[in-house]
Amino acid sequence: MKIENVWTGNWENAFRGMRHPYESYKKSDSYSYIIPTPKGDIKTGFHIGDNDMDLAQRLISGGEPNDKFLRQIFVSMDITAPLYWFKEADTYKVGTTANSTSTMHRIASTPITLDCFEIDDLDQNFEITLKDGVHGTMEQWNNIIIDGCEFLRQKYLETKDIRYWKELIRWLPESWLQTRTWTADYVTLRHIWKWRRNHKLTEWHTFCDAIEELPYAQELILYKNALGE
């Protein structure tokens, strides 16, 4: 699983809107900044002042809908993950959008190899018992699956018979990797981090680690967000 091209934005608008109910704009002490880097490009960011952080955390402590300003802090990232993880991630449909590479359109375009699948924690030497008590390893089992998928792909390219393509789609393992540009907000990430950080799928650990690296994650996303709080 890979998480790349992470971006956050709309900070200034979110924190200005946070003060609308109180009309306490004069107390705001946050600001956007632009810093030239030694490489000649520009680094931008947002600094949350003490006054604004105090109000933000008091609103978060009040729970929903008091923390609704977090819905206006946007996050975008490119996620390369297996289909089985995306199926679980689709639970969080509210406040999220994704554009993905197309399995349907692109699956026949490149050879199917082990690198096309999620193998981060794969133990190729893990022993399993196949049909009729035949013993083998995960490496042997993986080779059977991958060779079968590659055979169907090649037969489809040779014959253009749509039946080969359909069977490839039908039997493609859920560990197949797909890349999606995924967008959400800080409220959604609070929910994900709370309920998935101890999940038995290791991909959720990777994703929650990435959440913790976002700007002000400790102060906003993780703040009073332990299970049971």
CATH number at residue 87: 3.30.1360.170
Give the residue from 132, 148, 171 where a domain finishes: 171
pLDDT of residue 141: 85
Task: Check whether residue 158 and residue 117 sit in a common domain.
Answer: yes
Task: Check whether residue 10 and residue 62 sit in a common domain.
Answer: yes
Task: Check whether residue 9 and residue 61 sit in a common domain.
Answer: yes
Tell me the mean pLDDT in the region 97-104. 76
Task: Check whether residue 54 and residue 125 sit in a common domain.
Answer: no
Q: Would you say residue 229 lies in a domain?
A: no
Task: Check whether residue 128 and residue 196 sit in a common domain.
Answer: no
Model confidence at 229: pLDDT above 60: no
Task: Check whether residue 62 and residue 32 sit in a common domain.
Answer: yes
pLDDT of residue 226: 58
Residue pair 192/211 in contact (Cβ under 8 Å)? The answer is yes
pLDDT per position as a tens digit, 184-213: 999 999 999 999 999 999 999 999 999 999
Q: Would you say residue 227 lies in a domain?
A: no
Q: What is the mean pLDDT of the chain?
A: 91
Q: Would you say residue 211 lies in a domain?
A: yes
Q: Would you say residue 206 lies in a domain?
A: yes
Q: Would you say residue 134 lies in a domain?
A: yes
pLDDT of residue 228: 44
Contacts of 146 (CB under 8 A, 6+ apart): 112, 113, 114, 117
Residue 228 amino acid letter: G
Model confidence at 227: pLDDT above 70: no
Task: Check whether residue 83 and residue 124 sit in a common domain.
Answer: no
Contacts of 219 (CB under 8 A, 6+ apart): 48, 53, 56, 57
Task: Check whether residue 10 and residue 52 sit in a common domain.
Answer: yes
Question: Which range marks the domain in which residue 127 is found?
Answer: 108-171
Winning range, highest mean pLDDT, from 29-43, 85-99, 122-136, 158-172 = 158-172
Model confidence at 87: pLDDT above 90: yes
Task: Check whether residue 158 and residue 58 sit in a common domain.
Answer: no
Residue pair 17/25 in contact (Cβ under 8 Å)? The answer is no
Task: Name 4's bridge partners.
Answer: 78
pLDDT per position as a tens digit, 17-29: 999 999 999 999 9
Task: Check whether residue 33 and residue 18 sit in a common domain.
Answer: yes
Which has the higher per-residue pLDDT, 30 or 227?
30
Quick one: which H or E segment has residue 79? strand 74-82
Tell me the mean pLDDT in the region 122-130. 81
Q: Would you say residue 23 lies in a domain?
A: yes
Total domains in the chain come to 2
* Full-model pTM: 0.86
Q: Would you say residue 61 lies in a domain?
A: yes
Task: Check whether residue 146 and residue 67 sit in a common domain.
Answer: no
pLDDT of residue 37: 79
- And the tokens for 53? 């952080």
The vertex-68 CA angle with 53 and 9, nearest 5°, equals 70
Model confidence at 135: pLDDT above 80: no
pLDDT per position as a tens digit, 44-78: 899 999 999 999 999 999 988 999 999 999 999 99
Contacts of 21 (CB under 8 A, 6+ apart): none
Burial class (CB in 10 A: 0-12, 13-18, 19+), 170: exposed
Task: Check whether residue 24 and residue 65 sit in a common domain.
Answer: yes
Q: Cα dist. 148→19, 158, 160, 167 in Å?
A: 59, 15, 17, 10
Q: Would you say residue 207 lies in a domain?
A: yes
Q: What percent of the chain has pLDDT over 90?
A: 71
Residue pair 85/201 in contact (Cβ under 8 Å)? The answer is yes
Closest CA relative to residue 27, chosen from 57, 9, 48, 46: 48
| Cis-peptide, bond into residue 65, ω within 30° of zero | yes
